[in-house]
Structure 1
Amino acid sequence: MSTAKISAPISGDKAYQIRARAALPILVRQAEAGVPISYSDLAEELGMPNPRNLNYVLGSIGQSLEGLSKIWKVKVPPLQCLVINKNTGLPGEGIGWFLVKKEDFSALPLRQKRVIVEAELAHVFSFSRWDMVLKALSLEPVTCDFSPVLKEASRGYGSGESGEHKALKEYVACNPQVIGLSSNTPVGVTEYRLPSGDTLDVSFTSKAVWIAAEVKSAISAESDIVRGLFQCVKYRAVMDAVLLAEVRPHVAKAILVLGGKFPKSLIPLRNLFAIEVIDGIVPPANNHECDPAHLNNTKKVDLLGVV
């Protein structure tokens, strides 16, 4: 039987109910920002080692919202459909019971699933009573004040490129697979210039996706990592505009690649911006898997095929 149907509402002392009470305010934050969140990112913010255990958590949230809908006689959208698989961009199969009240949601064609989910996401984002939902369930909104670290980040950069940054940038460009890209992905272009005047550390392209990798070495301070998050937000917007202007069928994506570990204190900010972060990437000593001389975008033809 689907966990969506057998999970109990959040007012209990089982582990998944306790986690559901912690997760629901996070999902409200994401809904108000208009941004989905992946299973793995939500699990990390909740301190859960296994994202698979979110099934009961999200089922519990769904049951609670269904209960409110009956009491209020107003449809409360299925907030849990904000939690998506990174690869498919869709929520898990358990969401089907809340969307179509059928057990055969998993059997629907992918395109039809997307139509159903996108329609519900529109309802989730436009729903204006999430604060009342939290109050009705005796929950407090999540509050994170990033003002101090944002102020520090806004003070600017250091001078010049460090050797550590250059080595990590070239290693990532030569080895797309270390950041989760296919081993068939062509070698990246470093220092790729955008029409806005910005420069991508590394630019990759596949048949359908244009990917920018913003690189921060292991010696980067927290404020520099915050700048990296904001740079990814900016690059994604500019890349979308480039693809629109050039009528290209690609999807733009910007990821933050770190030589060190991503600070736990910044997890909510990362999730709010929906930025993928890949950390702990360490170039091997004397890495010569590809020639950095071939990486720079001074070449006449770049990876998007633009002369």
Structure 2
Amino acid sequence: MPPPVRAGGALDRVPWWLVAAVVLAVAFGLAIAADEDYAAIFRVVSAGIGTTVFVSVVAFVLAALLGLGLAAASLSARRIVREAAIFYVEIVRGIPMLVLLFYMAFVGAPALVAVWNGLTHPLQTIGLLEPATVRDFDFLWRAVVALVVSYAAFLAEIFRAGLQAVDRGQIEAAKALGLTRIQVFRLIVLPQAIRTVLPPLGNDFVSMIKDSALVSVLGVQDVTQLGKIHSSGTFLFFETYSVVAYIYLLMTVSLSLAVRALEKHLRRHEAGRGR
């Protein structure tokens, strides 16, 4: 006896939370377009979207590269390299993001400038370089460095899990064929590890966009900072922060959907290879 056909099978696959979110997004978008105050706020605040995206993308790419290096170091056969990488990861993960942001902005930046001046002092004495000052280190880049330092520790653990998930038999087979360690890592280990860690990397990128709002405490002109300035001058706090939340939700929900679509694509690709 064939199984009963469920009525509305297509409707059962509809993500109702997404339908509700789209309806609310469209309704709020229409409200922004119709209301003069909301429209003015949106024009002001949306000017910071470029800064938010720039900080998030640059910091995440650099953090991913540093995190991959830390993950490889934490699996090194040399104990001193392994312990140093683990020390970095465990210490940095225990520091709140906001504290690290202030530390890098007001302690790390002067220290980096002092180191730079020390290294370039011979060139400064003969007039080839001018001494650097802390003001030369823009607050935007101080914020990027802080995000990189913090997120690299978390991404290192993701990459480490991905690297350890690769079958040891494949590695041994590659070595038996005469491949060097670098070739094994580049051709065998890394491609498989990247496929494994792509979904959690996407989730961390969503978190990066949200955490980028913290750079507003340094005066960086992102979405949050422009909203704070506008609301303090107009006293339209509810309207302003509603628009700020709306913009962040549009970015993060859209990216979350893209990550889910990528996960499904990877699953279908792996299933196709398995057949």
One fold, TM greater than 0.5? no
Larger radius of gyration: 2
- The structure richer in helix per residue is 2
Greater relative contact order (CA < 8 Å, ≥ 6 in sequence): 2
TM-score (norm 2): 0.21
